[in-house]
Amino acid sequence: MVNTKNIVREPLFHVSKRDELSFGKKTIVYVASVFCALLIGAIICSIASPKGNPVMFFVSLFEGVFASSRSIWEMLRDMALLLSVSMALLPAFKMRFWNLGGNGQILMGGLAANVCLITLGGVIGDFWVVLLSVIASMVVGAIWAVIPAIFKALFNANESLFTLMMNYIAQCCVTLFIAIVVKGGSSVLTDDQLPQGGRLPIVGNQFLLTIIVGALIFGFMFIYTKYTKGGYELAVVGDSQNTAKYVGIKVKSVIIRTLAISGAICGIVGLLVTSGNYANAAIGVGSAKNMGFTAIMTTWLGNCNPIMILVSCALVSFINKGMPQVRMAFKLKGESFSNLVVGIIYFFIIACSFIIQYKITFSKKKKEAK
Amino acid sequence: MQKEITLELKNITKTFGKTVANKNVNLTVRKGEILSLLGENGSGKTTLMNMISGIYYPDEGQIFINGEEVKIGSPENAYTYGIGMIHQHFKLVDIFTAAENIVLGVKDGTKFNIKDVNSRVEQIASKYGFNIDVKKQIYEMSVSEKQTVEIIKVLYRGADILILDEPTAVLTPQEIKKLFDVLRRMKEDGKSIIIITHKLNEVMEISDRVSILRKGEYIGTVNTCETSENELTEMMVGKKVELKITRTQTNFDKPLLEVRNLSVKGDDGSKKVNDVNFYIRGGEILGVAGVAGCGQKELCEAIAGLRKVDDGLIMHKGESIIGKPANEIIEMGISMSFIPEDRLGMGLAPNFSITDNMMLKTFRESKKFTVDGEKLKGQPKWKAFLLKSWCAVKNVAHMPFVDRKAARKRATELIKRLEIVTPSTETPIRRLSGGNVQKVLVGREIESNPNVIVTAYPVRGLDINSSYVIYDMLNEEKKKGTGILFIGEDLDVMMALCDKIMVLCHGKNMGIVHASKTTKEELGLMMTGALDLSDAKQKEYGKAKDSNLTDEQWLEKEQQEQQAKEERNDG
Amino acid sequence: MIMFLQNAIRCSAAFMFGCLGEIITEKSGHLNLGIPGIMCGGVAGGCLSCYLYMGAIPDYTQPSYILLLLIGIIGAVLSGVFLGSIYAFLTVTLKCNQNITGLALTIFGTGFTDIVMQLMDVTKRKQYFSIASTYIAKPLPFAQNLGWFGELFLSYGALVYLAIALCIATGIILKKTRVGLHLRAVGENPAAADAVGIKVDTYKYGSILTGSSVAAIGGFFYVMDLVQGLYNQYQPVEAVGWLAIALVIFTLWRPYLAIAGSVLFGALYTVSNFMDVSSQITNALISFIPYVVTVIVLLSVSVIGSKNVQPPSSLGLNYFREDR
């Protein structure tokens, strides 16, 4: 009898968890993967476009950012906003709470600010309008995040799907608000329909205020997550709920409290993207500029480490700012083009987590049992 | 007449890293017999069976089935040889019906039709006398029903050799009786059955022959009818080993922790701790012996306030701790450390550094500033006042922050004292080896200056030297007048270290004996349920004569607790 | 009224594809937030293949109905498989985080679509697609003769029927076949499935790729049927994709319910076109309904906690055998 069953095949390779890589090795892996991703993006651009070569890709990317002081300022502002949202998501993620609702929380914060501006602007003193706007945007943003948190804490409702839905409900709220405020069938609220009084003041130039607030939020979150009792508690909850319960941490209230902070910061970002004393202060369905999602990526890519998040925010903002120039250079149309390159970068960095967590051992030779 | 041999193991050896799980084990199973595999925790029974069922692959040795040598590479592979194993932890899909679970993964080439499956399952069930509702979903089933599903799952695949890993551990006596009836019927049908168990009475009742393993080594096989419980116990536990652990002599204080009529339910809803009485005095180590999963975990969790107490009282210095949140119990000075099998999980945050783990229980305390008395001398009053208020301001300012510096200092001290091998105090715990993780946990609990220490398996998997460090630490605590509940595995250690030993068997207290007066055999018999000393001394066992409370007060407390329980139920 | 229902049903097919694709994926325990991106990818794949086909035949005004439809579907499926395999490779083989990978895929998918659309000549594709859409949206031949019944049930393009057929087929496969049983086991308890010898990773790959392909057809349908070949109107596809994910919760992970749920969402999606233009506020209020209803369903599911209406138990968790 030929006993085929008896052959014990050893798999070609074996995947197992590995010890942590050193910081230096990790950095090399990340930098290499970002570079590879950019290179692939460059090659794709060269193929898709009638003219151009990969080198041009890198050149125009830098040109796009450093073309003028204005574009640098813009990039810094975008980065500050993205960083703020990332910082808002950071405590939630550290707690292993999937807050996919950044967009909605930003929108609701902005909406609250706009409501304050429209109803109170010019009616009471400018300072008071601003103060009330700040408070309102924080409170409303927090509420938007706390609703899913409560249900997560009490009923263990799936938070990622819930917060996702809250994004759309927020969008609907904005649409409704615009429908109420704007007469005559237009679905867009324009800047000139808002009162001038009570907007955020201009500090230095139109970008600086945002950047300062972003830096403050960064500093606050850095300290909060790293040095405070609240930050410590949420990290314990994230790492092991059993342990948290065992040492007497009230898990439910920590979840709700953390999400309130998360939402409040998103609310401030909402205030910043609306209510400014320049360009467009009005809210629209797209006001969040999808930062809620982008920040999920940056926070996760930054491995919940504030400094790393800063780096990844810088990277993403840089590419987003530089891509229009690349598009011009390659004569490519389509607005979401930079998504392709950013998407590839994300894929590569996501794949890095595998290299960092697991190791592959190839079996030396195939063994066959006699 | 000698029945034919279906399964034979020759010189099986398996090692995991440095630990030898099985060493030169020989085993034979005959057609139509029930073989018991007896051994203490960690004697390698499950590992051995996993090699037969294809989960592990032996390093050395041969397996013969019906006289032919085979290699078993996977569970699927094992099925083709007619070997099926029923694991202790069921692997069932909760929302599937019994029949769906049974047919899962079967590739018999027939067209899939759940009705056919249902009828085939019912056929098997009626053949062996199982009670089963094939359309019932798993999550609605009791443990015993789930086990039935697992057994039928194996039979459905046409297994002739069935391995049951501690099948009775989760069953009630009635259910055990039913199971044994089924097993006997299977035996009559010509199936070979290997049953892993700790319980001697069951061994005597069900099996034809008994094979004994001790510390991974094969001790021998005896015919059940020719042996006695005493002989089996001796083979299982071996001769007493003298250890160089000194039992520190202390003066016992009043009882610190008194537990009366305690009943606690496990995760699956079954009673895991059943009407247990005991007390711990200051300066005393009370050992808890028992095979794994006999309510040790539930007992620990109940004391630490992590698990709801079903019935009974837990008194700490005369004050009930039932219903108190975990952190209040910690503040009362009761420390609990449970080392689970994976050694992480309870009481530690694996991704945290040692420092951060050190302050898990103390992170609420902020850094405190005080004014040095020396400095104030000779200073004008206003200056002293200023200095004091500056301190107060600093204290307030530090309120929201954790005091990581102090924790780091403690971590450094602990690393030095317990010789914890780690690159630094900032290394995440999960990167340490198991033994070092354990030292951190046990060390932290001990140095938090508790007055009651509940510690389960503190030396699990530790090398000898580290174990001795931990024993020394416990003895030191004992000298300070701390009451210690030591839940252990190794009887020799417990007999040397503890003052008294309580034996749990399926959540029941089988009696409390003086460690210096008892024998290993006695403990072994109690652990396996063959000897019950709790009846011998009538109802007084486990109740201190010099209790903190009078009998009247106990009654009163009991009533209060009953009332509180009713209120909780209403609310 | 019939007009409205007709529109609702036609629109529902887009949701049906997306929702069904996500259901199939989630049954294996993978929450694919990349479905919106995959649906966009379906637009790209479907359009490109139609474009190539029509460019290849001598007279582009006279394409073969069957071939056009088939090639379009194949194109969409191919792009779905391409995008799905990125997700599957990252989450199954490399065990990366599912939420993150899905979001990245959505971002990537929209960019990918942009690039593919660039490859086509602007004037040509305009001509091609308007013709292609008349073919693809062609109602069943005997629809006109049957009055309201024909209008309501038979007046749609083939893809609408394909969507319904796929839903029913998936329902049957999941419920009645061995493959379905194994797939559900993988999503519920991969360790248990692994223990009985089911190839967990193979099933995961299979379901992710199938799900992605189905969702991708949805994108193709949206552009070629629903908006009549207006290729530059594919942006709403992303929003449809997100709604489709919401719809999965609404349908309690059941393919049959996906049909009903999609029709409801389709009705809510199109209802504003049939409303008085002046009542913007009513419109805005109506747009709340799908999301609010979904949230209510999500909450009641978790509050009730009945095991039969829960998402697959291991949803969102990757399986690594040595973790057990």
Of the listed ranges B28-37, B138-147, B277-286, C309-318, the least confidently predicted one is C309-318
C251: amino acid identity, one letter:
T
pLDDT digits (tens, 9 = 90+) for A22-54: 778 888 888 888 888 888 888 887 877 777 788
User: Is residue A172 less than 8 Å (CB to CB) from chain C?
Assistant: yes
Q: Is a pLDDT exceeding 70 seen at residue B538?
A: no
Partner-chain residue, chosen from C184, C192, C308, that has the shortest CB–CB distance to B91: C192
| Residue A369 tokens, joined | 């049992």
Q: Say yes or no for a CB contact (<8 Å) between A20 and B431.
A: yes
Name the minimum distance, in Å, from the CA of C164 to any CA of chain A. 25
Domain extent for C276: 2-323
Q: Say yes or no for a CB contact (<8 Å) between B92 and C189.
A: yes
Which pLDDT belongs to residue A369? 37
User: Is residue C324 less than 8 Å (CB to CB) from chain B?
Assistant: no
Q: Is a pLDDT exceeding 80 seen at residue A134?
A: yes
Single residue among B401, B421, B444 that ends a domain in this structure: B401
Summarize the confidence of residues C225-232 as an average pLDDT.
76
User: Chains near B, with 3+ CB pairs < 8 A?
Assistant: A, C
ipTM for the predicted complex: 0.84
Which pLDDT belongs to residue B535? 67
With cut-offs at 50, 70 and 90, classify the pLDDT of residue A277.
low
Summarize the confidence of residues B534-554 as an average pLDDT.
69
Q: How many domains does chain B have?
A: 2
User: Is residue C277 less than 8 Å (CB to CB) from chain A?
Assistant: yes
Chain A hits for C94, CB-CB cut-off 8 Å, are 350-351, 353-354
How many angstroms separate the CA atoms of B121 and B154, rounded? 11
How many angstroms separate the CA atoms of C295 and C54, rounded? 44
Q: Say yes or no for a CB contact (<8 Å) between B105 and C197.
A: yes
Range with top average pLDDT, A281-290, C17-26, C247-256: C17-26
Q: How many domains does chain C have?
A: 1
| Residue that has been written with the tokens 């249902």 in this structure | B118
| A156: closest chain C residue by CA | C302
Which pLDDT belongs to residue C3? 81
Which pLDDT belongs to residue B400? 86
Most B-contacting residue of C179, C181, C254, C301 (CB-CB within 10 A), to test interface:
C181
What letters, b where the CB count within 10 A reaches 16 and e where it falls short, cover B356-394? bbbbbbbbbebeeeeeeeeeeeeeeeeeeeeeeeeeeee
With cut-offs at 50, 70 and 90, classify the pLDDT of residue A155.
confident
Name residues whose C-beta falls within 8 Å of residue B32's C-beta, 6 or more positions apart in sequence: B3, B187, B188, B189, B190, B191, B192
Domain extent for B376: 367-401
Is residue B169 assigned to a domain?
A: yes
Partner-chain residue, chosen from B304, B326, B352, that has the shortest CB–CB distance to A239: B352
Q: Say yes or no for a CB contact (<8 Å) between A229 and B57.
A: no
Residue by residue, DSSP assigns C19-77 as: HHHHHHHHHTT---TTHHHHHHHHHHHHHHHHHHHHHHSS-TTS--HHHHHHHHHHHHH
Report phi then psi at B148, rounded to 5. Answer: -55, -45
Max distance between CA atoms of chain A, in angstroms, equals 97
Q: Say yes or no for a CB contact (<8 Å) between C242 and A100.
A: no
pLDDT digits (tens, 9 = 90+) for B386-426: 888 888 888 888 888 888 888 899 899 988 887 888 888 88
| B428: closest chain A residue by CA | A20
Choice between A283 and C34, residue whose per-residue pLDDT is larger: C34
| Residue A162 tokens, joined | 């819930």
Judge if B206 and B66 occupy the same domain: yes
B557: amino acid identity, one letter:
K
Single residue among B186, B210, B237 that ends a domain in this structure: B237
Summarize the confidence of residues B236-252 as an average pLDDT.
71
pLDDT digits (tens, 9 = 90+) for B125-143: 888 888 888 889 988 888 8
Which pLDDT belongs to residue A363? 54
Single residue among B204, B237, B270 that ends a domain in this structure: B237
- Is the distance from CB of C2 to CB of C152 less than 8 angstroms? yes
Is residue B443 assigned to a domain?
A: no
Question: pTM (2 decimals)?
Answer: 0.82
Domains and CATH numbers, chain A: 14-51+332-361 (no CATH), 75-330 (1.10.3470)
* Strand duo B483-487 + B284-289: pairing: parallel
With cut-offs at 50, 70 and 90, classify the pLDDT of residue A1.
very low
- Is the distance from CB of A82 to CB of A313 less than 8 angstroms? yes
* Strand duo B68-70 + B60-65: pairing: antiparallel
Report phi then psi at C278, rounded to 5. Answer: -70, -25
Q: Say yes or no for a CB contact (<8 Å) between A164 and C245.
A: yes
CATH code of the domain in which C234 resides: 1.10.3470
- Is the distance from CB of B420 to CB of B440 less than 8 angstroms? yes
User: Is residue C110 less than 8 Å (CB to CB) from chain A?
Assistant: yes
Partner-chain residue, chosen from A158, A185, A337, that has the shortest CB–CB distance to C114: A337
Which pLDDT belongs to residue C275? 66
pLDDT digits (tens, 9 = 90+) for C103-151: 899 989 988 888 888 778 778 888 888 888 888 888 877 767 777 777 7
CATH code of the domain in which B126 resides: 3.40.50.300
pLDDT digits (tens, 9 = 90+) for C36-88: 999 999 999 999 999 999 888 888 888 888 899 999 999 999 999 999 999 99
Name residues whose C-beta falls within 8 Å of residue A310's C-beta, 6 or more positions apart in sequence: A83, A218, A302
Chain B hits for A242, CB-CB cut-off 8 Å, are 345-346
Is residue B459 assigned to a domain?
A: no
Summarize the confidence of residues A285-311 as an average pLDDT.
88
With cut-offs at 50, 70 and 90, classify the pLDDT of residue A6.
very low
